[in-house]
Amino acid sequence: MATLELIGLEKSFGATPVLRGIDLEMPDGEMLVIVGASGCGKSTLLRMVAGLERPSAGRVVLDGRDITGLDPSQRDIAMVFQNYALYPHMTVFDNMAYGLRIRGLPRADIRRRVEQAAELLGLDALLARRPRMLSGGQRQRVAMGRAIVREPKLFLFDEPLSNLDAKLRVAMRAEIRRLQRRLGVTSLYVTHDQVEAMTLGDRLLVLDQGRAAQLATPMEVFERPADTYVAAFIGSPAMNFLPATLAADGTAAALATGALVPFADGLRDGPDGRPLTLGIRPEHLALAPDGLQVVVELIEPLGSETVVHGRVAQGHKTGDQALVVKLAGPVPPTDRLAVWPIPTQLHVFDRATGRRIDPVGDESTATRLARAAAAR
């Protein structure tokens, strides 16, 4: 077990910057999930921690020791890849034991470690089999067992579940989380799957084009996204964004339809007429007879809930503004719906920068700390 610190980590390939000044501190035993769109730098960051890529600038510090220039074999880090990377001609036992044999451990120690890991992962009866005789989930367990037997200071997971079917992915996700908590090993987990990110991580690092867009707990990222990129990435279906302007002395947003959407609390700053982006999650729109009129384009029945896709009407015409609504239970076929946002669930962003604007009394932890530091 160990702490991990990334200090000003940067990476460029030629003139193309991939990571831009990543700063991060992980306490002992934390599971941190790195999430973001394809090409945002997730795997590059993981590979730099592993030593498979050298940073253009910055340092990697593991348990107080600067390992930036060390070879991967000297870092005491174990990595689980998405493609398993098992030796096809070796048994499960030999695949798990291979790294220990390379290190010259006694046979008795190797057998003890492999058998303990196999029992932990439910692989006891499979130790004599070869990879071709295993299912995808079993192969992923073997890959995890190979990492566990090394007893490393840090686990790295590079999208380990992306090759599994949906049902198995759910089961393995829960298994990885239980295993990480039981072992208490500090872990970095990379994924593009927001469900994996929300359910696995103690904290999330959301990357946007190589920058840290937000670092916070999963619920804080969901409830108080730092900007429109984070807001759009976390949540399914994605958050709706409506252009608006500040109105009524900062107590409401005026939509393009002319409707006034009141805030539960006023905004902290800004004059009336300030351009805003109003963020509303589909599940935070409720049916309301006098609400926004939505011209329905598609209804997706999902059993316990229904997702409705449409466009906000402007008078008798269909407007250009798309809107997605998630409602509980079935929805009968219809051409129009009237909906209204729940005031306490609104998200307000500056239209020019995309940054979150905190209503009075609804500051994020990061914002409160920044304000307190500025006041001292």
Query: How confident is the model at residue 373, as a pLDDT?
Result: 47
Task: Tell me the average pLDDT across 59-71.
Answer: 95
Decide if pLDDT at 29 tops 70.
yes
Same fold, 4-226 and 232-375: no
CA dist 106 to 103, 109, 254, 354, Å?
9, 5, 72, 58
Q: For residue 55, what pLDDT is reported?
A: 95
Mean pLDDT of 296-308: 95
pLDDT for position 85: 83
Segments making up each domain of the chain, as ranges: 4-226, 232-375
pLDDT of residue 370: 47
φ, ψ for residue 179, nearest 5 deg:
-65, -45
> Yes or no: is domain 232-375 CATH 2.40.50.140?
yes
Number of H helices, E strands in the chain: 9, 19
Residue 83 has what pLDDT?
A: 80
Residue 319's pLDDT band (boundaries 50, 70, 90)? confident
Q: 4-226: which CATH number, 3.40.50.2300, 3.40.50.720, 3.40.50.880, 3.40.50.300?
A: 3.40.50.300
More confident residue, 81 or 205: 205
pLDDT band with cut points at 50, 70 and 90 for residue 362:
low
DSSP bridge pairs for 241: 279
Which residues partner with 340 through β-bridges?
286
Lowest mean pLDDT among 139-148, 160-169, 235-244, 291-300: 160-169
User: pLDDT (tens digit, 9 = 90+) per residue, 79-126?
Assistant: 988 787 899 999 999 999 998 999 899 999 999 999 999 998 889 999
Query: Residues of the chain with pLDDT > 90: what percent?
Result: 71
Q: How far apart are CA 204 and CA 195, in angstroms?
A: 12
